[in-house]
Amino acid sequence: MTELTTATIDWSGTDEPIALTNIHILTAMAEMDPNESKGERSRYVKFGGFEYPLKYTVGRAIAHATGEERRDFHSDRGEELLEQLGFETVKKSQE
């Protein structure tokens, strides 16, 4: 991943979509311990041999872009956004 890429996520209550870059996502990942549990999760973003919780990662990236952390979006939209930015996402069944 060598290019700066941008994708947007629509948000109710805002006039314009929120623009996120792959740098926002990487910064969010750098703040996390991928081995630390964030509760039950079924969707993850894979990077550098680790899996990060999808909604938590996107929520932290939104905080870097806007100053306000948000996680009240549908996971499908977060997954689509991450894939547009060049990241791999995975779904795991909860047992």
Q: What pLDDT, in 10s, does the model give residues 13-64?
A: 667 888 899 999 999 999 998 887 666 678 999 999 999 999 889 999 999 9
Residue 10 pLDDT > 70: yes
Say which DSSP state 5 is in: -
The answer to whether residue 1 sits within a structural domain is no
Confidence (pTM):
0.83
Integer Cα distance of 76 and 86 in angstroms: 15
Domain assignment of residue 64, given as a range: 6-91
- What local confidence, expressed as pLDDT, does residue 68 receive? 82
- The DSSP line for 63-83 is HHHHSS----S-HHHHHHHHH
- What local confidence, expressed as pLDDT, does residue 46 receive? 94
The answer to whether residue 21 sits within a structural domain is yes
- What local confidence, expressed as pLDDT, does residue 95 receive? 56
> Phi/psi zone of residue 89: left (φ > 0), alpha (ψ -120 to 50 degrees), beta?
beta
Contact 21, 4 (CB under 8 A): yes
- The total of structural domains in the chain comes to 1
